[in-house]
């Protein structure tokens, strides 16, 4: 019996899957006709939820679909075996929303990424699905970053307090709620 795949738990796993998807699709372009890899390429026109990741090493955006990148340790063989019965893009999109957001059409980078994604599809003799959407890493504004740093600092100070002072802090917080 095939085991139900597990959803990703971190953005690092997502990035690893995006890179793997792109390397497997590249194998097809180099003549690898493995049935699993062929399935990935043949489905390019069917993928709706695309995720864009800027790869510093390759100095370009890499694209991959949610249904592939949302599961732990995904590869073409596993995707081919599980695609019809066990993989659910709705589930992966929920977990991927922890790190990514849909790029709004009014965004400055939307047209550029749409063109790059369309070119990516055309490079594999496929067209972009009419219902496509592009998801990018969530952007944190400076205020959110500063607040997170402040929370981390407060927590570290709290950990250094004596037991009595930790209790005092807890009471003060509870009284202010």
Kindly indicate the confidence band of residue 149, based on its pLDDT and cuts at 50, 70 and 90: low
- pTM for the model: 0.75
**Residue 83's closest CA among 96, 98, 73, 68?**
68
User: Which H helix or E strand runs over 100?
Assistant: strand 100-102
Q: Which residues lie closer than 8 Å to 136 by C-beta, 6 or more apart? A: 51, 52, 100, 101, 103, 109, 113
Residue 2 confidence (pLDDT) above 70: no
Report the residue count for the chain: 177
In tens, the pLDDT along 10-60 reads: 999 999 999 999 999 999 888 877 889 898 999 999 999 999 999 999 899
Helix 35-42 × helix 11-29 angle, to 10° = 100
Q: CB of 92 within 8 A of CB of 35?
A: no
> What is the tally of helices (H) and strands (E) in the chain?
8, 4
Residue 116 has pLDDT above 70, yes or no: yes
Q: What pLDDT digit, counting tens, does each position of 59-113 carry?
A: 999 999 999 999 999 999 988 888 767 888 889 999 999 999 999 899 888 999 9
| CA dist list (Å): 76 to 22, 111, 131 | 11, 29, 24
Per-domain residue ranges for the chain?
A: 11-137, 142-176
User: What is the rounded distance in angstroms from the CA atom of residue 116 to the CA atom of residue 104?
Assistant: 16
CA distances for 65 relative to 12, 54, 89, 93, 173, angstroms: 16, 15, 9, 10, 44
Contacts with 39 (C-beta within 8 Å, 6 or more apart), sequence order: 76, 79, 80, 83
DSSP string, 150-167: HHHHHHHHHHTS-HHHHH
């Amino acid at each position: 019996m095939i085991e139900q795949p597990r959803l990703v738990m971190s953005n690092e796993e997502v990035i690893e899957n995006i890179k793997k998807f792109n390397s497997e699709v590249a194998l097809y372009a180099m003549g690898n006709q493995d049935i699993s890899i062929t399935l990935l390429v043949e489905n390019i026109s069917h993928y709706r939820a695309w995720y864009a990741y800027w790869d510093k090493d390759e100095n370009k955006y890499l694209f991959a679909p949610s249904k592939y990148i949302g599961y732990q340790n995904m590869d073409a063989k596993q995707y081919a075996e599980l695609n019809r019965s066990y993989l659910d893009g709705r589930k992966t999109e929920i977990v991927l929303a922890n790190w990514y957001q849909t790029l709004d059409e009014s965004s400055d980078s939307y047209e550029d990424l749409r063109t790059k994604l369309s070119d990516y599809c055309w490079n594999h003799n496929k067209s972009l699905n009419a219902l496509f959407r592009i998801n990018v890493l969530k952007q944190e504004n400076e205020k959110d970053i500063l607040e997170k740093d402040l929370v981390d600092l407060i927590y570290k100070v709290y950990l250094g307090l004596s037991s009595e002072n930790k209790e005092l802090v807890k009471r003060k917080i509870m009284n202010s709620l």
